[in-house]
Amino acid sequence: MGNSWMLLALLVLLDPAHGTATHFSTSCNSLAKHASAFKSLNTTITNSTFFPAPANNVPAHAPTLCQPTTVITVPLCRIQFIVKTSDISAITAEIWIPTHYTGRSLSLGNGGLAGCIDYDNLAYGSSKGFAAIASNNGHDGQSGAPFLNNSQILADYITRSVHIETLAGKAIVQELVGSQPSRSYYSGCSTGGRQAFYSAFHFPDNFDGIIAGAPGTDWNNLLGAFGLWESFFGATTNNASIIDEAGWALVANEKLKQCDELDGVRDGIITEGEGCDFRPEELQCPEGLGTGSPTTCLSRNQVTALKLLYNPIYGLHGEYLFPSHNVASTNSSTLSTLFNGQIFQPTEDWVKYVVKGPNFNFSEYGVQTIEQMNALNPDNIATFDGDLTPFRKKGGKVIQYHGQADPLIPPAGSKLFYNQQAFNLGLKSFQLDEFYRLFLIAGMTHCTGGLGSTNFGQDGTAIPSNPAASNVLDDIVNWVENGIAPDTIIGASDDGKSLRAHCRYPQRSVLDGTNFVCTTAENT
């Protein structure tokens, strides 16, 4: 009841019909003058501006390194601020507080090497009534060069940024509207998914509900695997095994030929790559026959590279390190771009600027490099073997999702992570489901997009047009505030005409007549 009255008071405060919109805009525009309120948090507000209506082409932070402009979709107060984290490091952040603020905050993560403010989801979160918070993670742009010989900027990237932006953001909300958010949420994908679980492990009181998409957990092995995978295609030696886009189209068609119907229907989607025993040998040219033009078959070197790509990675002493690349990834353009004879940029930068030094010769790259990455593991960036007990005890909830066609982070990694948490906590799946659920999204690539029904409100580019579809932001709020956990995620196709229920792990998606249903292994 107390929260309801507080939210009602906030709505009255911000409702133009009550004559207080002018007060809100005035308070917003003068917020930068309230320096003393944020001194203890080492926070300086650099600008605060009230936008009474939607606006296009709004200048963004770091326009030459990230995006030049952004869009504001609802009336709101845009507050830009800097948090000093050491004598040689600082975080640049923004919080957007809409006039229809609901009393909830939404902190946002980053992607890749994470130096760009997530403006798309600032707009999305604020449009749904959240005070939306995002930062540059302590550096601008996607390069890892700022990490070189600077442990403070590296600490911002790995450990501090989401935590600090959230504390400062909540303090700003309190200064503007009179109280801190009644509920706090987080949403991020990829690096943002890793940040989600890092927050749950190390700062369990920060959030009531967390959405973690395609998390880049097991970070060292993930980046390490990409370096090794690309070495199979000539990135560290020669280009004899590089496959062009036409060749990857051949590979994709063969994958579909062998594995598309494993879920009961031929629809251009491999629902679960791990269930596909893909045999690239079927593509090898007969002896003495080249690959031809157009590509009709693959060379022995190319098939060998594929065999390595689609097998797990093991350490120098035979220990399991990381899953294979995702067999269910079939976009030939994406695959030809990823495996083009060049080292994956995040892997290259991490090795050069954190692990080995800028003069490292990648012809020396191998499993031993991955093991060095694991041994270094600064600030436990691996984010794999943590403890969710405090987050669970405080009543926190987690929705994790992962595209089954993800070409960047294998969905098998999310299963391994989920099972590791079950092991750490000593819980069975039905017990883990009480606070943590993993959903595997058939046909979806990295975070969003792909074939089939892959839109469920996971970010501002994936808002479903079909009202029968799920919205994962609504789902996490409903679970935290009303105790109603999502059994499935209902995804919608881009045109909104097709819906599909995506299952929570370890259930599996199987065809029952004309619809996909979720079933446990013993019922399949």
Does residue 524 belong to any structural domain of this protein? no
Q: How far apart are CA 212 and CA 164, in angstroms?
A: 19
* Residues 364 and 321 grouped into a single domain: yes
| Residues designated as active site | 190, 406, 446
Does residue 10 belong to any structural domain of this protein? yes
Taking 90 as the threshold, does the pLDDT of residue 193 lie above it? Answer: yes
Q: Which of 486, 491, 500, 485 is nearest to 463 (CA)?
A: 491
Q: What is the pLDDT of residue 9?
A: 44
| Torsion sign across C-alpha atoms 98, 100, 105, 106 | negative
In tens, the pLDDT along 66-99 reads: 999 999 999 999 999 999 999 999 999 999 999 9
* Residues 247 and 374 grouped into a single domain: yes
Q: What is the pLDDT of residue 294?
A: 57
In tens, the pLDDT along 443-495 reads: 999 999 999 999 999 999 999 999 999 999 999 999 999 999 999 999 999 99
Q: Which of 453, 482, 514 is the last residue of a domain?
A: 453
Reduced to 3 states, what is the DSSP secondary structure of residue 360?
coil
Q: What is the pLDDT of residue 7?
A: 45
Consecutive H or E run containing 303: helix 300-309
Q: What is the pLDDT of residue 295?
A: 75
Does residue 520 belong to any structural domain of this protein? no
Q: How far apart are CA 425 and CA 419, in angstroms?
A: 10
Residue 135, both tokens: 């930062």
Q: Which of 407, 435, 453 is the last residue of a domain?
A: 453
Residue 31's domain is classified under what CATH number? 3.40.50.1820
In tens, the pLDDT along 330-358 reads: 999 999 999 999 999 999 999 999 999 99
Consecutive H or E run containing 304: helix 300-309
Give the pLDDT mean for 134-139: 98
* Residues 252 and 200 grouped into a single domain: no
Reduced to 3 states, what is the DSSP secondary structure of residue 320?
strand
* Residues 408 and 320 grouped into a single domain: no
Q: What is the pLDDT of residue 33?
A: 84
* Residues 51 and 161 grouped into a single domain: yes
Does residue 189 belong to any structural domain of this protein? yes
* Residues 127 and 171 grouped into a single domain: yes
Phi first, then psi: give them for residue 237, nearest 5 degrees. Answer: -130, -80
Confidence category of residue 288, pLDDT binned at 50, 70, 90: low
Taking 60 as the threshold, does the pLDDT of residue 174 lie above it? Answer: yes
In tens, the pLDDT along 235-270 reads: 887 667 899 999 999 999 999 999 999 988 899 999
* Residues 133 and 268 grouped into a single domain: no
Taking 80 as the threshold, does the pLDDT of residue 516 lie above it? Answer: yes
Q: How far apart are CA 399 and CA 188, in angstroms?
A: 11
For residue 323, what is the DSSP state?
P
Q: How far apart are CA 158 and CA 219, in angstroms?
A: 11
Q: How far apart are CA 255 and CA 355, in angstroms?
A: 36
* Residues 154 and 288 grouped into a single domain: no
Domain housing 298: 221-379
Q: Is the pTM value of this prediction over 0.85?
A: yes
* Residues 203 and 239 grouped into a single domain: no
Instruction: Compute the mean pLDDT over every residue in the chain, rounded to the nearest whole number.
Output: 93
Q: Which of 265, 255, 266 is nearest to 331 (CA)?
A: 255
* Residues 233 and 365 grouped into a single domain: yes
Give the pLDDT mean for 436-443: 98
Does residue 147 belong to any structural domain of this protein? yes
Taking 60 as the threshold, does the pLDDT of residue 17 lie above it? Answer: no
Does residue 467 belong to any structural domain of this protein? no
* Residues 412 and 335 grouped into a single domain: no
Q: How far apart are CA 518 and CA 524, in angstroms?
A: 10
Give the pLDDT mean for 221-225: 98
Taking 90 as the threshold, does the pLDDT of residue 519 lie above it? Answer: no
Low-confidence winner among 62-76, 107-121, 237-251, 495-509 (lowest mean pLDDT): 237-251
Q: What is the pLDDT of residue 2?
A: 43
Angle at 364 between CA 231 and CA 140, to 5 degrees: 75
Does residue 387 belong to any structural domain of this protein? yes
Give the pLDDT mean for 31-52: 89
| Torsion sign across C-alpha atoms 168, 173, 178, 181 | negative
The count of domains in the chain is 2
* Residues 103 and 181 grouped into a single domain: yes
Beta strand spans in 309-394 (E):
313-314, 320-322
Does residue 229 belong to any structural domain of this protein? yes
Phi first, then psi: give them for residue 30, nearest 5 degrees. Answer: -100, 5
Q: Which of 453, 472, 497 is the last residue of a domain?
A: 453
